[in-house]
Amino acid sequence: MRPELEATCDQVDVDAMGSLLGFRAGTGDGARYRVMLAAHMDEIGLMVTHVDAATGFLNIIPLGGWDARTLVSQRVVVHGREAVDGVVGTPPVHVLKPEDRDRAPKLTDLVIDTGILDGRITDLVRPGDVATRSRRLQQMGDLISGKALDDRVGVFIMLEALRMTEPATADLYAVAAVQEEVGLRGSRTATHRVNPHVGVAIDTCPSGDGPGQTGGGTKLGDGAAIRVADASAIASHRVVEFLERLAVDRGIPHQFHVSDKGGTDTASLQLARDGSLAGCISIPSRYGHSSVEACHPGDIQACIDLTVALIEHAHELIPEG
């Protein structure tokens, strides 16, 4: 991320938590408004709690919001002294007790099997090391699919929008945040430093169009999702209406995400210091927090176009009072 931000920003700082803060000076006269974009670099993962030398098994706790069913039968990489491959296995169906076949596993029941049988594992991995899933991005029909599109796709959109814009009237901060998945943490300190007037997160939202879903919501291919509400934040209605106007003016396909579940760095942006005008540009996604998340490239392009429009016009969102 750092070289990518350095290519498009005047200055890039890293804060104590590890978030990267790109800064691009505005062209306006006098005291300029500060506009902050935030996309998170981290993904959900696992932390090792116990290393069993005899079996090569690793006990784990979750980092972020896991559904244990999506972890079963996955390949993982343990980031120890060296990278160690592993799998998360369960007993084969032939030997499962009938009552266990119908029961979803709990994450704390699962272990990472590293296949290392000779005790070497204790030299390679120790408690506190983290593991991530191993899964490559692939094109699948009209969609792209892979792990951690939440929020790699948001980071990509932020970088593309930076590449496509010149310095605008307001000062611009582009923040690649850490530790979003464990509680919107990196964006808290970054926002405190920037103290933005306007703050917009770029992150995925669960679409409503996956198999078996009939409750409405966003659809893949219908455009950028302007996020109105979730469990962590109610976006500023001024930001929502501003993003909608930009989308209409530029012919950018768009839709709205409204939910009482989930959360994004928008909450940190909104609540820092005296608060900011906060909102979120969201990318509809199926199968969130699994290793086969899926997004539509057309929606990603719409989010890039909307972020470009925001960078160019954000100074018009002059705070009241």
State the minimum distance, in angstroms, from the CB of residue 127 to Zn ion.
27
Q: Between 4 and 203, whose beta carbon lies closer to Zn ion?
A: 203
Name the amino acid, one letter, at 33: Y
Q: How many CB atoms lie within 10 A of CB 274?
A: 8
Q: How many CB atoms lie within 10 A of CB 61?
A: 11
Q: Which residues pair with 23 in a beta bridge?
A: 11, 173
Q: Between 36 and 58, whose beta carbon lies closer to Zn ion?
A: 36
Cβ-contact 245, 213 below 8 angstroms: no
Q: Which residues of 276-286 are buried (b: 16+ CB within 10 A; e: fewer)?
A: bbbbbbbbbbb
State the minimum distance, in angstroms, from the CB of residue 266 to Zn ion.
11
State the minimum distance, in angstroms, from the CB of residue 315 to Zn ion.
27
Q: Between 127 and 183, whose beta carbon lies closer to Zn ion?
A: 183
Sign of the dihedral through C-alpha 136, 138, 140, 144: positive
State the minimum distance, in angstroms, from the CB of residue 155 to Zn ion.
10
Determine the longest span between alpha carbons in the chain, in angstroms: 73
Q: Between 8 and 187, whose beta carbon lies closer to Zn ion?
A: 187
Cβ-contact 24, 172 below 8 angstroms: yes
Tokens representing 226? Answer: 């302007």
The set of residues, in sequence order, having a beta carbon less than 8 Å from that of 57 and lying 6+ positions away, is 111, 112, 113, 114
Helix boundaries (H) for the chain? 2-6, 98-101, 121-124, 149-163, 186-194, 237-250, 266-271, 297-313
Active site residue ranges: 180
Cβ-contact 269, 276 below 8 angstroms: yes
Q: Between 150 and 171, whose beta carbon lies closer to Zn ion?
A: 150
Q: Which residues bind Zn ion (CB under 5 A)?
A: 150-151, 203
Name the amino acid, one letter, at 293: E
State the minimum distance, in angstroms, from the CB of residue 233 to Zn ion.
13
